[in-house]
Amino acid sequence: MTLSTRKLPGKSLFGLALAATLGVVGSATALVQNSLAQTNKTKTDTATIVKLDYAYYNPVSLVLKEKGLLEQELKKKNIKVEWVLSQGSNKALEFLNARSLDFGSTAGAAAFIGKANGNPIKSIYVFSKPEWASIVVPKDSKIQSVKELKGKKVAANRGTDPYIFLLRTLYSNGINPRSVEIVQLAHADGKTALLKGDVDAWAGLDPITAKAELESKARILYRNPSFNSFGVLNVREQFAKQNPGTVLSVLKAYEKARQWAIKNPEGLKQVLIKESKLSDAVASRQLERTDLSNSSIGTPQKVIILAGADVLKKAGVIPADTDIQVVVNSQIDPTYINRLKSGK
């Protein structure tokens, strides 16, 4: 383009210079904005389906599933939801490790075992503070104290909170777990073995324990709320890294379900009854031992998990050289729930 050599007034020269400068700045800004847009685009969540579990020991998950709250939340992103039943923390951890789940419900201490053994997960949310584990004996058992378990058969589901509860109970009563025959059985099978007389005691889990109490008159030999670790929601690390926005959406839906459960206790009980086929009395007993008031995760969970981890190390369940503090710090991640609650 040829520029005219005709002289322009000073103001016109200034105006031309300003216009040219603004044009350059505008073009640069447009380039930066376009670049940022491309960057954000490459960081967009890639998930087209979310796989998560529901579990009878996690009542909030049952509400979430029953009410379709997650489907409503993820519909905005054209993401589908796939539900998988977890029959225990150990099964949820297996599913997470096999990528059959993106989100799984477990006890906090059980998730620690998975993490210590290389399962790439993060515990990001508390769905309950339950008293779901206890030591149970048949109604006609002559056993009256934990110390009498020495030399006896006790059913327990390895890698779950009741199993860790059993270990802590034995050690706190001066009993080496090796002096007890721990029979590996799934939770429901443990109850069956107890009632048939195949074992002397059982490290039980609600709602199966509540069912055994009320319908078969089984007796709780030992309970200790402080030995129960929190119920936590875990996410696969890779999924969280690739889909941070989707993780927040899942927790947002979980929070809606938890708040609904708190405000509608009778409705929560009916959902539990419908999903788990429990009687009204059994469902009520389970919910009496379940606290849904907090969903934040952090120091309180770490403290309880570390106490369980010490016992697991002592019992040889995890390697003796495991740095339990490092593992727990890597396991517990409050980032997502803190972001959700702060609105950032």
Residue in 130, 144, 122 with CA at minimum distance from that of residue 293? 130
Q: What is the pLDDT of residues 98-155, one digit of tens each?
A: 999 999 999 999 999 999 999 999 999 999 999 999 999 999 999 999 999 999 999 9
- E strands within the chain? 49-54, 80-85, 103-107, 121-130, 133-137, 153-156, 181-184, 201-205, 219-222, 231-236, 290-291
Place 159 in a pLDDT band, splitting at 50, 70 and 90. Answer: confident
Q: Give the three-class secondary structure for 284.
A: helix
Angle subtended by helix axes 324-331 and 299-314, to nearest 10: 140
252's enclosing H/E stretch is helix 244-263
| Residue entry with tokens 């929601």 | 233
Do the beta carbons of residue 132 and residue 289 sit within 8 Å?
yes
Place 229 in a pLDDT band, splitting at 50, 70 and 90. Answer: very high
Q: What is the pLDDT of residues 274-291, one digit of tens each?
A: 999 999 999 999 999 999
Do the beta carbons of residue 79 and residue 49 sit within 8 Å?
yes
Give the Cα-Cα-Cα angle 22, 26, 27 (nearest 5 degrees).
120
Residue type, 4: S
| Average pLDDT over all residues of the chain | 89
231-236 sheet: strands from edge to edge: 80-85, 49-54, 103-107, 231-236, 121-130, 290-291
Residue 344 has a pLDDT of: 66
| pTM assigned to the model | 0.83
Residue 36 has a pLDDT of: 34
Domains of the chain, first to last: 49-130+230-342 (3.40.190.10), 133-227 (3.40.190.10)
CA atoms within 13 A on the CB side of 313: 15
